[in-house]
Amino acid sequence: MQRFISTALMVAIFGGGGWMFFKGLHLEDIKQIIVTGQSSDSGAPMVGTSPVSNSPSWNPPPGATIKIASFNIQVFGDAKAEKPYVIDTICQIISNFDIVAIQEIRTQDDYFIQKFVQRLNHLSGRQYDFRVGPRLGNTRSTEQYAFIFDANRIEVHPQYVYTIRDPDNLLHREPMVGFFATRVSDLNQRFTFMLVNVHTDPDVAKEEMDALAQVYSVVRRQPIGADQQTEDDIIILGDFNTKVPSAPSGSFGRSSRPLKPDDLAGLGRITDIYPVIQNQPTNVVKSYLHDNILFHRPSTAEFTGRGGVYDIQSRHGLSLEQVKQISDHLPVWAEFSVTEAGLSNRVASGAAVGAR
């Protein structure tokens, strides 16, 4: 795997007021690794088998945790922007979380996410910031990823937000990666983490999850900053298109089963990989488990044990047809401590994320 780290290649990274380039990660060797069977635009602002317990592993005081979420907002673009009640409901949903990975942004408006975040801040009273990636896809219908985060609680490393290059076209939409840290008074104790935002092609989801397993390993081994330490809290989240038959608790007469490691293909073969969503539907009609949040459970001891699927219909008192105007997916989320825990080889030790 060291070959991935030492290869100096260009990846697109957003920084300041526009796009710049930074030496980073590459998928050039992933095809060979998979074949041999090894496991384990413009200058616009871009800036298992058991359920997760509903009870926390510990009882943190107020403000001691953050909620990380993923939301595939189906065709998030101009048509939704023309419906104020849809946009406002999306704002209300996102305001429940401290950082959200967004998939399926489809618009030619380079300022779309900036305008959305302005509306979000107006309605929520919070101070959200954002980073958005380039348009991606193998067809004319391209999509963007974004990270939207509460800047009062979380900060982003300006040099470590990037899109992985994939010259062999193993992935329809290359993942967007971001390095974040919580804002706490003791910088030595802040929780630092990498988010890998993904949206697989449903036609080749398992093949893409094989490739994503290698992406996960590469990001986990990426040297960060002048001290060249690595980050062990790698959280890969998004729409995996696992299509596991799933039904709400108490439903009868419907096919349903828990998520199995094989459903995640190569990702499921990573030792101690933990899916937060294991037996809940994540689509609006509540028939399939597609979306998830994955991380290495022994390393990411900051996970409190809380997580789940955000039910838009019940939380906002909407009809199913109203929810379908928002998205065909439901947000998934997980809660983490704002301070570091567990292993000692952490980027957080002795450094502020913004100072690297």
pLDDT in single tens digits along all 356 residues of the chain: 222 222 223 333 333 333 322 334 555 544 433 333 333 344 455 553 333 333 334 455 568 999 999 999 999 999 999 999 999 999 999 999 999 999 999 999 999 999 999 999 999 999 999 999 999 999 888 999 999 999 999 999 988 999 998 989 999 999 999 999 999 999 999 999 999 999 999 999 999 999 999 999 999 998 887 788 899 999 999 999 999 999 887 665 568 999 999 999 999 999 999 999 999 999 999 999 999 999 999 999 999 999 999 999 999 999 999 999 999 999 999 999 999 984 434 444 433 343 33
**Residue-level pLDDT at 314:** 97
Alpha-helix residue ranges (DSSP H) falling in 104-262: 112-124, 205-220
- The residues that bridge with 296 in the sheet, in sequence order, are 273
Please count the CA atoms within 13 angstroms of the CA of 251 that sit on its side-chain side.
16
pLDDT of res. 226? 79
The rounded distance, in Å, linking the Cα atoms of 224 and 9 is 15
Would you state the CATH architecture of domain 2-55+68-355? 4-Layer Sandwich (3.60)
Contacts of 33 (CB under 8 A, 6+ apart): 214
Q: Where are the domains of the chain?
A: 2-55+68-355
DSSP character for 309? E
CB 336 within 8 A of CB 276: no
pLDDT at 252: 58
Q: How far apart are CA 338 and CA 182, in angstroms?
A: 6
Place of tokens 């939301």: 71
Say if residues 71 and 103 touch (Cβ distance below 8 Å): yes
Distance CA 109, CA 15 (A): 19
